[in-house]
Amino acid sequence: MPEAADSAETASWRIALPHTTAAVPMARAVVRAALADIEASADSDTAELLTAELVANAVEHTRCGVPIQLVIELLPTGCQVEVHDADPAPPGDLSPAAPAHAPDPWQEHGRGLLLVRTLSSDCGHRPTERGKAVWFTLPARR
C-alpha cells in the first residue's frame, strides 16, 4: 500500500514496485489514484503515460532483483513523479532533442524519453544513495 503524507500544500506517495513488467500497470494505477486526490492536479493521462515509460525503462535497463521506487509529489503547481532504480548510470538523453536525433520511425524502441522530454514541463535525473532517480514534472490543470 502506498504511503500518503498530506499537508495543506503537498501530498507525497512512495511505493516499492517489483522489478518485473507487472510494475508498469501498477505504477499507472498508483499515479491515477494519487492524481484523483486533488481535483486541479496535473493531467492524469499524461502522468500515467510518462510514468509507464520511466518504469518500463527501469525494468528493462537495470539489474533484476532490486525493487523500483515510485515517488509522486502533488504540489500546488502540479506534480512531480520520480522513478528510482539501483543503476547509477544516467538514462538516455533527457535534453531537448535536435531534429537529427529523432528516433527512427521503424524501430520499436527509442521513443520513451522523447515522450518524457516533449510532454513534461521539466525532466531530468539525479544520483541517489542507491542509484538514480529519473523525474518529470507536469503543471496543474487550470
Spell out the per-residue pLDDT of the chain, length 142, in tens. Answer: 344 444 446 789 999 999 999 999 999 999 999 998 666 567 999 999 999 999 999 999 888 788 999 999 998 889 999 999 999 998 877 765 544 555 555 555 556 888 899 899 999 999 999 999 999 999 988 6
Sign of torsion over alpha carbons 114, 120, 121, 127: negative
Domain ranges of the chain: 3-139
What is the model's pTM? 0.83
The CATH code of the domain at 3-139 is 3.30.565.10
Minimal CA–CA distance to 97: which of 126, 124, 120, 118? 118
